[in-house]
Amino acid sequence: MAIYHLSVKTVSRSAGRSAVAAVAYRTAERLVDQRTGELHDYRRKGGVELTELFLPKGAPGWAHIRDALWNAAEQAETRKNSTVAREFEIALPAELSAQQRERLARDLAREIVERHGCAVDLAIHAAGKAGDSRNHHAHVLLTTRRLGPQGFTEKTRELDDRKSREVDRWRERFAQLQNERLREYGHETYVDHRSLEAQGIERQATRHLGPTAAAIERRTGKASRKRLEFEREVAERLTHAKEAGELERQASQLDRCIFDLSGDLKAALQEREREQRQEQERWQAIEAVKPLVTSGIAEFRRQFELHRQAKVGKERALQRFQAEQARQAAERAAQARQEVLQQQEQQRQSEQQREAEKQRAQQRRQDGPSWSR
């Protein structure tokens, strides 16, 4: 089976990001954010195989210029926490050639424009030289507003509403497009957009490390902290699952014991009724059955208490598992925010250094040579 990946992300000001910066990085271009005055120059960045703009019919002429398009998208949003762009990150099948992968990515971009009326900026990236050679992928950046002849209009809210299941529809549609191209070009492999659980596959899903962790592993040759945390989390999940399974097995055994005791008690009562018909043997039967009934009830109560304790233990194990999941999610979110702040600080310092060097060079040119005849 070929590799399938489609994730939808947002570019939001609340996270300190901008659409202009995101597009500049993914397309490896030099763009100026007119709202903040920041320069984003990634022309030295390699690995970008193709960039292309896709616009709805009747789009204004200025929208064909990447710098103008994304600055207009930024200016259309006024809130400080606005979502200014949306990104579809997709994996492209390694089984297809470069031209075939380009066709697949373009088909998806065109369909998004036709359905939502927004502008789409496509950037196809090559697989990393030091990473997985099959990691062909593309970034499909969408404006969050529809684009008409007069400019940007209403928001594409349907992509934000989970009830609309629009993102699920695009995941299924991209899988269909991939399978169509794979069959068309003579490949028997296929992709499936559903989760492993929905496919009936019993294994732990893999996790995308991200560019930072992948770069650390390539540079050091060692597992990154993100990979180690993921492996630890998987081990803990397996341990919790094993504990829950053992509790379930014990509960099942207790259920069978209780059923057996109920059957024994019923047989004893039937025996007692039958012996009551004989007056002479009645008291002997009662005396014989009484100890059995007493011990059966005691055993029943004991087994019932064990069953209750097993159920309580299983619920507590589940609560610990859920609490640990919530804690790990909070830690990952905090770590991600810290990494974003560090990247922003590094970028700000680099900009200040470049500006200082530029001012010093300009001052030297104005001062002229310091020697005289």
Query: Does residue 140 carry a pLDDT above 80?
Result: yes
Mean pLDDT for 114-130 is: 92
Distance CA 123, CA 101 (A): 12
Which amino acid makes up residue 289?
V
**Which of 77-86, 274-283, 310-319, 323-332 is predicted with the least confidence, judged by mean pLDDT?**
274-283
Q: Ranked by mean pLDDT, which of 120-124, 125-129, 365-369 comes out on top?
A: 120-124
Q: What is the pLDDT of residue 369?
A: 65
- The pLDDT tens digits for 38-64 are 999 999 999 999 999 999 999 999 999
Name 10's bridge partners.
Answer: 86
Cα separations in angstroms, 315 against 117, 244, 306, 325: 49, 9, 14, 15
Residues of the chain with pLDDT > 70: what percent?
A: 80
In sequence order, which residues have a C-beta less than 8 Å from that of residue 231 and are 6 or more positions away?
A: 223
Mean pLDDT for 354-360 is: 90
Q: Identify the band that residue 204 occupies on the pLDDT scale cut at 50, 70 and 90.
A: low
Question: How many Cβ atoms from other residues are within 10 Å of residue 161's Cβ?
Answer: 10
Higher local confidence (pLDDT), 109 or 286: 109
The tokens of 243 are what?
A: 């504990």
In sequence order, which residues have a C-beta less than 8 Å from that of residue 247 and are 6 or more positions away?
A: 310, 313, 314, 317
For residue 356, the SS3 value is helix
Mean pLDDT for 210-238 is: 68
Helices of type H across the chain: 19-27, 66-75, 98-116, 166-184, 196-199, 211-220, 225-276, 279-367
Q: What is the pLDDT of residue 197?
A: 63
Query: Does residue 217 carry a pLDDT above 90?
Result: no
Residues of the chain with pLDDT > 90: what percent?
A: 47
Dihedral angle sign, alpha carbons of residues 16, 22, 28, 34? negative
**Which of 87-96, 207-216, 247-256 is predicted with the least confidence, judged by mean pLDDT?**
207-216
- The pLDDT tens digits for 265-312 are 777 777 777 777 777 776 776 677 677 767 778 888 888 889 889 889
Query: Rounded to an integer, what is the distance from CA 92 to the centroid of its chain?
Result: 18
Distance CA 73, CA 13 (A): 13
For tokens 């009936």, name the residue: 200
Higher local confidence (pLDDT), 283 or 328: 328
Q: What are phi and psi of 53, to 5 degrees?
A: -95, 140
Mean pLDDT for 134-159 is: 95
Cα separations in angstroms, 217 against 49, 131, 134, 238: 24, 9, 17, 25
Residue 357 has, within 13 A of its CA and on its CB side, a CA count of 6
Mean pLDDT for 336-345 is: 89
Name 52's bridge partners.
Answer: 122
Q: Are 42 and 53 in contact (CB under 8 A)?
A: no
Name 232's bridge partners.
Answer: none
The tokens of 162 are what?
A: 């989970």
Q: What is the pLDDT of residue 29?
A: 96
Strands 83-91 and 118-125: unpaired
Mean pLDDT for 140-151 is: 97
For tokens 């159920």, name the residue: 311
Indicate the length of the chain as a whole number: 373
Q: Identify the band that residue 228 occupies on the pLDDT scale cut at 50, 70 and 90.
A: confident
Which amino acid makes up residue 306?
L
Q: Identify the band that residue 372 occupies on the pLDDT scale cut at 50, 70 and 90.
A: very low
Question: Taking the model in full, what pTM does it have?
Answer: 0.57
Q: Identify the band that residue 336 occupies on the pLDDT scale cut at 50, 70 and 90.
A: confident
Query: Does residue 253 carry a pLDDT above 90?
Result: no
Q: Identify the band that residue 2 occupies on the pLDDT scale cut at 50, 70 and 90.
A: confident
Q: What is the pLDDT of residue 373?
A: 44
Q: What is the DSSP letter of 206?
A: P
Q: Are 39 and 351 in contact (CB under 8 A)?
A: yes
Q: Ranked by mean pLDDT, which of 204-213, 292-301, 340-349 comes out on top?
A: 340-349
Dihedral angle sign, alpha carbons of residues 327, 328, 333, 334? positive
Cα separations in angstroms, 18 against 3, 38, 41, 143: 30, 10, 14, 12
Q: Identify the band that residue 178 occupies on the pLDDT scale cut at 50, 70 and 90.
A: very high
